[in-house]
Structure 1
Amino acid sequence: MVELTVPAGSLQSALHAFSEGGDGVYLGLKRFSARKGATNLTIEELAKLRTVALKKNRKIYLTINALVTDDERNDVIATLKEVDRIGVDGIIVQDLGIARIIRNAFPSLPLHASTQLAVHTVEGVRQLQKWGFERIVLARELTLDEIDDIRKACPDVELKVFVHGALCYAFSGLCMASHYLAGRSANQGSCAQICRTWWSVEEDSSLEPGLSPLGKGPRNAPFFSMSDVNSIEVINRLKAMGIDSLKIEGRMKSPAYAHFSARAYRKALDGEPVDLDPLSITFARTQSTGWLAGYGRSGADFSSRHTPSLSSGNTASHMGVAAGTILDYVDHEILVQLDRPMADRDGVMYLAENRLGLFEPVRFAVKGVGFAEAGTRIWIPLPNDAERPTIGSELRLVSGHNLNVPLISEEIPPYQKPIDLTVILEDSKLTIQSKAGTAQAHVSLQKAHRNQDVVENLATIFSQSDQSLFTLGTLNVVNGSSLKIEEIFLPLSTLKKIRRTFYRSLDQRFKRYVDQPLDLGDVEKKAWEQLPKRSLLVDGDRVPYLDPTHLRKQVGKGKPLEELLFTDGSFLYFPLAPITFLEERFFEDLTWLIDRASDDGCLERIRFGLNNIAHIRFFEKRRLPVFCDIYLYLANSQSARLIGETRLNLIGGYHWLERLEGDTALWPFEPTFVDPAFQAPLFISRSCFRYDSLGLGCEGCPRSGSWYVTQPDKKAHVIVRECITTLLGEERS
């Protein structure tokens, strides 16, 4: 049966998700989550939720899906120790170093791969399986047919698919816009949502018009803002192909969103009629079936698209549902023809065009109308500072007076880890043995006046562990005294004192364990190469990687392969594109280029850059010299050690590009830091800028193009190649 996983940005959201049919929730703690802006949970709240989950047979998936440095490693390990005591059903990670730590030191915590790893091919899934991942959260950019192909090729690993909520413009994990433009790392949970901001577009005057068309659409808009995905209508297809888990996006959203999204998708999975209005009114941008069924192609076949744009249109805002049409505006009131009932305290909005041609939401609460039926016309007063609406525009319902969800009590006993105890009774002492610790108490056993159920009495006492982190699991009593066990009398007050002392000692011992650094083993430093300045390894448009299929075409036109690769004057460098939707062709063309380089006598000078996990297995088989490039994100020594444990012929690697310096004493090799002049693309997107952002059709399109977009203090270059959009920031000195 397919699992429904609901976002829980808070304990309250998690409780609502469970109450409305969510099989599981995914959530973050206060640190090391890719959603710093969510409320997130404390360890104590996680322990409370674990109590509920066990009682209701629900699942908890913890996101530790930010990248971490070696300076933060001990804090992550301390968190993992506490989580290991509580227990969760999976840890969702992006950082390969954290994955290595979990695999080696916390084997009871199942490893789940975050969508931040940008896994979108069969080879990527297989490599993660090899590293011990039990579940893969696939990239959002896959179509149903592409997901089905991965499912068939990888039947023995769990796959999780996004089905509802926000779509990022860039591939998750590869987005650098927030880092470069706002100084905030999306890979550490501080995304500034640059894709939701507005830009102005202009043609690339250096090209012929056919390669930089603007069309008749707006010149100012949130061009990179994607629609929200709503896949209710394709749920059965995902169920039929055997997807293990469906994921709703939205940890930054409210408990009401968790409540109504769980309810809607539970009903859809159970084959019941679905009312999406409460969910859409709570939060929804312009909606589509996303890449799953709204792309207009089953895969990367370059057929003409005829489906609506996947962008969110002229606004990135919450749009709710259509409520009516604005017919008139008089004395700061609007006359509205209602398409649905409306009442005081409903929240409504319309879009008003400003002097730049941008559409900004005007939101306000309805008042003075009481209750009005659908089909009626009513006058609604506007706030004093509201922009004048356009006659004929939509009025939309964005909050409902009757959609407030009740507060669920959080007075929940926190989970206590059961421990198995052996109690040894001797004439003058009582010994407690467990894997968590051992204790002794001097006590003189007395003969009871009547037979006692000593085992039951001890079980009752040690089950009452009060506020301890632990409680009784199984109990084994060994009688080593001179009395028969049924003759033994143990004073209640004495037993309670022993119990309090024992559990207090367990808690103290556990706290010391949490604070104690974990021995991760010795490391032998390897003498690998220092790589060239990363700013040297770019093409004429400053794109920092090469696509084998494109290169093969260029070589086929007579261009020497050696001239198409990057060079530092000594070696040739071939950084591989991080994205490919035609994986078999990608590796077929790469193999052809390798053979060509061998024939040309330049293969021994080529170093291949790995930019996706999917590249690893190919080069393990061929033993060609490779380096870890910028998109493998070696953020710490443990990630470097994991890569170093492969069978790759590694000659070096770049450090995580968001850090230009750092302590590398624990690394198995000395990484190369990217130079300050290098800037990775702001976005790499499957969304075609020409089609989705500018609204231009596919007919006659050369599948490439170039434009410039600007904000008051920023300028960026948009490049489309084979329908993939790359956004590059201004050149750095």
Structure 2
Amino acid sequence: MQHADTTPELLSPAGNWDCARAAVAAGADAIYFGMPKFNARLRADNFTEADLPELMAFLHKHGVKGFVAMNTLIFTGELEAAERQLRLIADAGVDALIIQDLGLAKMAREIAPKVELHGSTQMTITSPEGIAFLETIFPMERAVLARELSVKEIERFGGSPTAPLEVFVHGALCVAYSGQCLTSESLGQRSANRGECAQACRMPYELVVDGVTREMGEVRYLLSPQDLAAVDMIPDLVKAGVKSFKIEGRLKTPEYVAAVTRVYRKALDACLGKTTEPISANDRYELEMTFSRGLTSGWLGGTNHPYLTHGRFGKKRGPLLGTIAACGGTWIELTDRTEVPLKPGDGVVFDAGENRDLEQGARIWKIEGERIVFHRTYSGINFSRIKPGHTIYKTSDEKLESDIRRFWQNAKLREVKLGIHFSATGKPGERLSISAECGGIKAVVQSQEPMQEASKHALSGETLEAQLGRLGDTPFELAALDFKVEGNCHMPLSELNRMRRALVDELEQADHGSGSERRDATTQVSYRDLLPEAPPKQEAEPELSVLCRSIEQVQAALDSGAGVIYCDFEDPRRYKDAVALRQNGGASKILLATPRILKPGESGYLKLIERAEPDGVLLRNLASLQYYKDRSDLLKVGDFSLNVANPITAKLLKGAANLDRLTVSYDLNIGQVMDLLNGAPSEWFELTIHQHMPMFHMEHCVFCTFLSTGTTYKDCGRPCETHIVHLRDRVGQLHRLMADVGCRNTLFNGRAQTGARFFSELRATGLAKYRIELLDEDDLGALRTISAYRDLLAGKTDAETLLENVKAFEKLGVTEGTLV
């Protein structure tokens, strides 16, 4: 697929109409926004179906593109509604769709082929190989990269033909890889893959090391990254080949959108040589004041775990003012005073290292010399709690907010006029004929009376051009005039004006600027045409597979006679040892799991797996699908991280990657699981019936940040290999933390999730393949869990008995979690 336009683009968020206007006023090239369904920011105001035509007309009038985020998973029962929304979006003249679900992407390409397709960061695009795999299914006009990539890693995407790249450059950072966070779903049935993130990463946690709670002082926000501000890295990203520079913030205010957009507009224009004005201290101040938990360059500068997540707070802070040196009554004096401007009316917060829900804040009443004074009554401050040594941050600046508000509300928005090509013909005794063509739409009008021979002031090209060019507030401008009038003709100016107005009316009625594009904007293809054929359900004996995370668990699974054993080790060098156990006897197949994430240059992990000579592979990312797609000698299973939520996605992945089976997405409840199994051949699927839900999957390493003095795996001392670590949440639940081969951390739900109660319903669909995933069980614990589920599958026990048994041996409790 050819991707010709590489002009850098500034892409701004818009959660409502005010934000859209603010983005346009500040110089955005495009905005992205959501609708009430199928977008990953359901808490934003969003735009209604009725808003779309007016919004797109407004954007296009001002030369700005509009992208709709449909970046959630689509369940089987929602495919018809998703198709309807796709058609509405295409008919409204939307420029692009930002999509997570692979099945929806296929639908969009087939149903609305004229709308650009952008692969969302929710697709977890972390490597060129991942893009290559996606483009075998549906060519994309844009790939939105994962936020965990560095500039050096992004540079490596340029070596192969791929879709143009989009990168987040400013805003909040998720601690987990987008598309791979199951925390909100696991803990509260609010899926981040469905736009319902509960922001569990912003909550306080306690660190429990080897069973002992570690005293961390004010460090409680172990999973809350600081915000991204890559304004100084724009030149590096342009050089790396990035096409689109994306600002996060569909839940933010129009003031945030305006301030951040105009700073990045300035930075991008400077990089492109359109201005020589550098980013100023005031620009940086605006970035920090509009919203900030502290600003960093994120992962773009490379790995430095403590730099990204210091753990001291998870809320908005703004810039640091200094440390309290003295206080008395209603006043404070600061030491280490920063250059941040301060005046009466500004808001501040006192950081005493305490519970952030209890910290105090207020507006400044007055400034007297070095003293900052607060009103004794109206500030609401308990002054006895203010002590020297506390730090103070500036949280609001009413004047700045007012200035920014006036800027976007009063800005004269640039308008993009559509050029009309006119042509005029005629001669004395004939009617004057003027045709107009604009963007493929044509209109013709004739004078009401024939032209007369001119005695003086004959109609000239200059006169006609002057009259036709009087287009005023219309969306048009004169592009060219082909004057073919013969002889000396007379035509009253009033008639020329009437003809111009008639032509403009006809062009406007043709809905120019979107009308021509809307014609045949969608095809006759239906989502039903993309569904797999669902043959009659086949009766098959139930099979139990076991995922193991240690050699001891593998041996237990072998001893139990498990048909398929998945190995998911932190150290893949031990994979050969696991395969060797199978070779000592038994009919079990050993499959080796790829890492959840593969970045550029990390394909060596896949080669290590190959050298272990397994029976098959558990494939967890797009790059591994591309790598193994032609390996017919291996049993290939697509894991839950591929987010199979509907039959179209299942059909695509199974066919394009030549998979033997697919794991049902962990985002589905039992009803949605049943819809999926009834919508596609049940023999395609495996369902995880017992597991500790992998909630956060993070590039952020908690071990390195809070259990070492290092910054990366090179100098952290590998505490993950010598300590057992849990995080305790606000309700007292312990969750196990583990690292993988790439030093990426996964936080597992402390409570085991079981689907035993739904086993009979699942069997009725013909589903025969069931998986249990072990976490930290020893060999006896593993045998106990495996035996319990083997008995369930064999009909030797019922669900209620199994549930009681599981509750007895799961120390931290049992839940039905995402299935209910």
* TM-score over 0.5 for the pair: yes
What residue in structure 2 maps to residue 284 of structure 1?
292
SS in 2 for 1:92: strand
Tell me whether 1:622 sits opposite 2:623 in the alignment: no
Corresponding letter in the other structure for 2:145: L
Structure 1 residue 76: Cα displacement: 2.2
CA distance in 2, matches of 1:513, 1:372: 69
Displacement after TM superposition at 1:664 (Å): 3.8
What whole-Å deviation, never above 9, does each CA across 1:326-374 have from its counterpart, x for those lacking one?
23333354344654432222111122344xx66854222222x1x667x
- What does 1:154-169 correspond to in 2, within 5 Å? 154-169=160-175
Superposed CA offset, 1:26-67 (max 9, x none): 22223211111122234245324423442xxx3333211011
- Please give the per-residue CA displacement for 1:655-699, whole angstroms capped at 9, x wherever unaligned: 554332332488342364745644430111111112224564345
Distance 1:690 1:235 in 2: 31
User: What does residue 314 of structure 1 align with?
Assistant: 312
Cross-structure match for 1:250:
249
- Give the Cα separation in 2 of the matches to 1:549 and 1:114: 29
Partner deviation per Cα, 1:416-452 (whole Å, 9 max, x = no partner): 99999xxxxxxxxxxxxxxx99xxxxxxx9998999x
Q: CA deviation at 1:716?
A: 1.0
Query: Closer, same or farther in 2 for the Cα pair 1:180/1:625, shift >3 Å?
Result: same
> Closer, same or farther in 2 for the Cα pair 1:386/1:172, shift >3 Å?
farther
Task: Give yes or no for the alignment of 1:681 onto 2:694.
Answer: yes
SS in 2 for 1:33: coil
Matches within 5 A, 1:37-186: 37-41=43-47, 42-54=51-63, 58-130=64-136, 131-148=138-155, 150-186=156-192
How far did residue 11 of structure 1 move?
A: 2.6
Structure 1 counterpart of 2:773: none
CA contact under 8 A between 1:531 and 1:652: conserved in structure 2? no
Q: Distance in 1 between matches of 2:124 and 2:371?
A: 50
Please state whether the residue corresponding to 1:560 is helix, strand or coil: helix
Q: Does the 8 Å CA contact 1:348/1:395 hold for their aligned counterparts?
A: yes
CA distance in 2, matches of 1:531, 1:265: 59
Deviation string 1:553-605 (CA, Å, 9 cap, x unpaired) is 342599525699xx9x8654444332134532122112212xx33xxxxx3xx
Alignment-derived partner of residue 706 in structure 1: 724
Question: Equivalent residues in 2 for 1:549-588 (5 A)?
Answer: 550-555=571-576, 560=581, 571-581=589-599, 582-588=601-607
Distance 1:8 1:551 in 2: 44
Paired residues of 1:120 and 1:142 also in contact (CA < 8 A): yes
Corresponding letter in the other structure for 1:390: K
Distance 1:631 1:419 in 2: 52
3-state SS of 1:402 partner = helix
Partner of 1:342: helix, strand, or coil?
A: coil
2:566, 2:697 → 1: CA distance?
A: 12
For the structure 1 residues 176 and 545, does the alpha-carbon distance in structure 2 shift closer, same or farther, using more than 3 Å as the test?
farther
Structure 2 counterparts to residues 586-597 of structure 1, below 5 A: 586-593=605-612, 596-597=613-614
Gaps of 5+ in 1: 206-212, 297-306, 421-435, 438-444, 475-485, 598-602
In structure 2, do the counterparts of structure 1 residues 634 and 332 end up closer, same or farther at CA, with 3 Å as the change threshold? same
* Structure 1 stretch displaced more, 103-112 or 520-529: 520-529
Question: 1:348 touches 1:364 (CA, 8 Å); kept in 2?
Answer: yes
Distance change >3 Å, CA 416–CA 244, structure 1 → 2: closer
User: CA separation in 1, counterparts of 2:543 and 2:31?
Assistant: 40
CA deviation string 1:214-266 (max 9, x = no partner): 77633861111111122233322222222222222222111111112122222
2: distance between equivalents of 1:3 and 1:557? 49
> 1:353 touches 1:360 (CA, 8 Å); kept in 2?
no
Supply the distance in 1 between the matched residues of 2:544 and 2:329 (Cα, whole angstroms): 60
Measure the CA separation in 1 of the matches of 2:331 and 2:87.
60
Letter in 1 for 2:350: Y
Percentage of identical aligned residues? 25
SS at match of 2:279: coil
Instruction: Tell me what 2:482 maps to.
Output: none
1-side partners of 2:130 and 2:145: how far apart? 10
Judging changes above 3 Å, is the alpha-carbon distance between structure 1 residues 181 and 523 closer, same or farther for their aligned structure 2 residues? closer
User: Is contact 1:717–1:728 with CA below 8 Å preserved after alignment?
Assistant: yes
**CA offsets 1:451-490 (integer angstroms, 9 cap, x no match):** 9xxxx9xxx9xx99x9xxx99xx9xxxxxxxxxxx9xx9x
Q: 377, 388, 391: which one pairs with 2:388?
A: 391
Q: TM-score, normalised by structure 2?
A: 0.69
Name the aligned partner's letter for residue 117 of structure 1.
M
Residue 731 (str. 1) matches residue 731 (str. 2): no
Deviation, structure 1 residue 85? 2.7
Partner SS for 2:724: strand
The letter of the residue matching 2:393 is: R
Partner of 1:669: 681
Question: Aligned residue for 1:303?
Answer: none
1:642 matched to 2:641? The reply is no
Change (3 A) 1:396 1:682: same
Matched, 1:190 2:170: no
Distance 1:364 1:97 in 2: 50
C-alpha displacement of 1:173: 0.6
SS of equivalent to 1:262: helix
| 1:580 partner amino acid | L
Q: Corresponding residue for 2:801?
A: none
Q: CA 1:229 to 1:706, structure 2 compared with 1: closer, same or farther past 3 Å?
A: farther
2:33 corresponds, among 22, 27, 36, to 27
TM-score (norm 1): 0.76
Pairing 1:377–2:371 present: yes
State the match for 2:734 in structure 1: 715
Q: For the residues of structure 2 that align with 1:274 and 1:167, how far apart are their CA atoms?
A: 24
Q: How many residues align?
A: 678
Amino acid at match of 2:121: T
Q: 1:700 to 1:53 in 2, by over 3 A?
A: same
Counterpart contact for 1:660–1:676, Cα < 8 Å: no
State the alpha-carbon separation in 2 of the partners of residues 691 and 681 from structure 1.
Answer: 20
Mapped to 1, the partners of 2:734 and 2:646 lie a distance apart of 32
Identify if the C-alpha distance between structure 1 residues 144 and 181 changes in structure 2 by more than 3 Å, giving closer, same or farther.
same
Deviations along 1:510-562, whole A, 9 cap, x unmatched? 99999999524275526699999999543358999745883333425995256
Amino acid in the other structure paired with 2:292:
A
2:758 corresponds to? none
CA deviations 1:187-226 (Å, max 9, x no partner) are: 1111000000011222223xxxxxxx97763386111111
Looking at structure 1, the residues matched to 566 and 588 of structure 2 have their Cα atoms a distance apart, in angstroms, of: 19
Deviations along 1:121-178, one digit per CA (max 9) or x if unpaired, are 2211211233201211111111222222x32333442112222222211111100011
Residues 78 and 515 of structure 1 are in contact (CA less than 8 Å); yes or no, is this contact kept in structure 2?
A: no
Change (3 A) 1:647 1:328: closer
> Does the C-alpha gap of structure 1 residues 35 and 562 become closer, same or farther in structure 2, counting only changes over 3 Å?
farther
Distance 1:263 1:414 in 2: 18
Instruction: Supply the distance in 1 between the matched residues of 2:265 and 2:541 (Cα, whole angstroms).
Output: 53
Asked if structure 2 preserves the Cα contact closer than 8 Å seen for 1:641 and 1:667, the reply is no
Quote how far apart the aligned CAs of 1:183 are: 1.8
Cα distance in 1 for residues equivalent to 2:230 and 2:566? 34
Q: Distance in 1 between matches of 2:33 and 2:590?
A: 44
Contact 2:69 2:99 in 1 (8 A): yes
Aligned runs of 1:490-505 on 2, under 5 Å? none
Match of 2:234 in 1: 235
Instruction: Name the CA distance, whole Å, in 2 between partners of 1:163 and 1:133.
Output: 21
Structure 2 counterpart of 1:659, one-letter code: N
Change (3 A) 1:706 1:309: farther
Amino acid in the other structure paired with 2:731: P
Aligned partner letter, 1:731: A
